[in-house]
Amino acid sequence: MLVLTRKKGQSIMLGDGIEISVVEVNGDAVRIGIKAPRELTIYRREIYEAIQEENIRASRAALEMAGKLKNIRTSSLKGERVRRGRKTPKNSN
């Protein structure tokens, strides 16, 4: 990790398009300003982590639902067979 010392009004550059400036220092709190392209998404770390956790939960729920749907489909197809691309009852020829 790169650690820099900056004073109020000073900034650092990340690449050519991102500038991070120290706007205010008040005790332990530091207000920063960020100039970056609009298409770049910027989150506070705790928000970013919450989004990541929710995405993981959503993925797990989707996988679980897909498994349930597969089981439902499999159980509904029992007693049927596929003939020329169409489902027909087992007794039919």
**Looking at residue 80, what is its pLDDT?**
59
Among the listed residues 34, 37, 38, 36, the one whose alpha carbon sits nearest the alpha carbon of residue 23: 34
Distances (CA, A) of 71 to 3, 61, 64, 68: 54, 15, 11, 5
**Looking at residue 82, what is its pLDDT?**
55
Rounded Cα distance between 8 and 31, Å, is 9
Q: Tell whether pTM > 0.75.
A: no
pLDDT tens by residue, the chain, 93 residues: 999 999 999 999 999 999 999 999 999 999 999 999 999 999 999 999 999 999 999 999 988 888 888 777 666 666 555 555 565 556 655
CA 3 to chain centre: 28
Name 41's bridge partners.
Answer: none
